[in-house]
Amino acid sequence: MKFKKNDALTCVVELDDTALEVCRLFDYEFSGESKFSVPAMPTVPKSFGIGLIAGPSGSGKSTLLQKFGSPMVPQWSKNRAIVSHFSGAKDAYERLGAVGLNSIPSWLRPYHVLSTGEKFRADLSRQISDGAVIDEFTSVIDRNVAKSCATAMRRYVTQAGITGMVVASCHYDIIDWLQPDWVFDTFTGQLSDRGLKRRPCIDLQIEPCSAEEWSAFSVHHYLNTSMNKAARCWVATWNGVKVGFVSALAFPNANFKHAWREHRTVVLPDFQGLGIGVAISDAVAKMFVFDGCRYFSKTAHPRFGEYRNQSPKWKATSKNQRARNDYREDYATKEDNHKMKHAARVCYSHEYVGVQDVSGDE
């Protein structure tokens, strides 16, 4: 894409009494006309996934962005859940997951009651498309949310083969997480061709904890806020900040011994989209297998389930994505008190097997 070398912009305001008084107080000579120039936009690659225009406020980012198109502003109904604004359930959870909004309770709320961060992610989930332009990218959200959102969006754009997206932001901290194919800095006037450079590592610390830690995470679990008192628990921290929680329960079974199953796994909303959930789940599973146990997990969450369907670390069980035949009114089990509540829920079911190299080490 080629653009003109420079753009000079002019705006004129009426010099009313207030404006004239301000000029007098600060001894500022002003005719009512303001002029400023926009940096020259260099030629960018013909084919790319994501391009980024970065720079300080007032440096011409929005003007340059207009060269690529006009931003789409999603419209939301106050009487419908945000998931109801997509073409179907699959489209909804794929796109919402693409921006790191993985909270099912939030999916089922109307847009106007969401937090600022959730609103940004919801808008973004509907804006992502070939040739989309997005202004003020991550400008109104917490920087941890910005990193997770940028990471999730880059992953989705790559997997879906989306091309020609251009975003503008005053924040440089997202560059390593968004991994744009090119960056134009309006402050330096330089265009850099980044390609897909490796994003920063997330160094998680996972430590045993008491069940009392669950209270800070329980409201974010997609199904149940309860915690079995017999569960073993771990909390995950990143740079000293608590970000995730995992618990496991003993899994008695007549067919094998020393089995455990995942009980609760939650990542706080601000850190969803970075891959923390699957990472801490895998880490705890690996610990049990290393100790000679078998480790199982069942989930209805598509993010976890699809990851495990594709991961060599997990093996699908015979009940994976199948209706539960034992959840019938005419089939008595020890779960009679609640089985019919979940009779229609088709879950992902896996056993952690790890990945071994030729030496037998994982």
DSSP assignment string, 273-290: TSSHHHHHHHHHHHHHHH
Domain 204-352 has CATH 3.90.1200.10: no
Position of tokens 């330096």? Answer: 188
Q: Where are the domains of the chain?
A: 46-193, 204-352
pLDDT on residue 57: 84
Note whether 67 and 3 are within 8 A (CB): yes
- The rounded percent of the chain whose pLDDT value lies above 90 is 60
Give mean pLDDT, residues 14-29.
93
pLDDT at residue 301 in the model: 84
Q: What is the pLDDT of residue 1?
A: 46
CA dihedral 15, 16, 18, 21 (to 10 degrees): 60
Give the tens place of pLDDT for each residue, 253-268. 888 889 999 999 999 9
Residue 77 is given by DSSP the state: -
> Would you say 64 and 184 are in contact if contact means Cβ atoms under 8 Å apart?
yes
For residue 6, the model assigns a pLDDT of 55
**Of the listed ranges 106-120, 311-325, 333-347, the one predicted with least confidence:** 333-347
- What confidence tens digit (pLDDT) does each residue in 254-305 have? 888 899 999 999 999 889 889 999 999 999 999 999 999 999 999 988 888 9
Each residue of 329-346: pLDDT tens digit?
555 554 545 455 555 567
One fold for both 46-193 and 204-352?
no
CATH value of 46-193 in 3.40.50.300, 3.90.650.10, 3.40.50.261, 3.90.1150.10: 3.40.50.300
**Position 359 pLDDT exceeds 50:** no
Please check whether residue 313 is in contact with residue 356, taking contact to mean a CB–CB distance below 8 angstroms: no
Select the more confidently predicted residue: 283 or 3. 283
For residues 26-60, one letter each, b for 16 or more C-beta atoms within 10 angstroms of the residue's C-beta and e for the rest, the string is eeeeeeeeeeeebbebeebeeebbbbbbbbeeebb
Of the pLDDT bands very low, low, confident and very high (cuts 50, 70, 90), residue 197 is low
Q: H helices then E strands: how many in the chain?
A: 9, 14
Segment of 121-130, 193-202, 344-353 carrying the highest mean pLDDT: 121-130
Note the pLDDT of residue 330.
Answer: 53
**Lowest pLDDT segment from 167-176, 188-197, 252-261:** 188-197
> Does 26 have pLDDT greater than 90?
yes
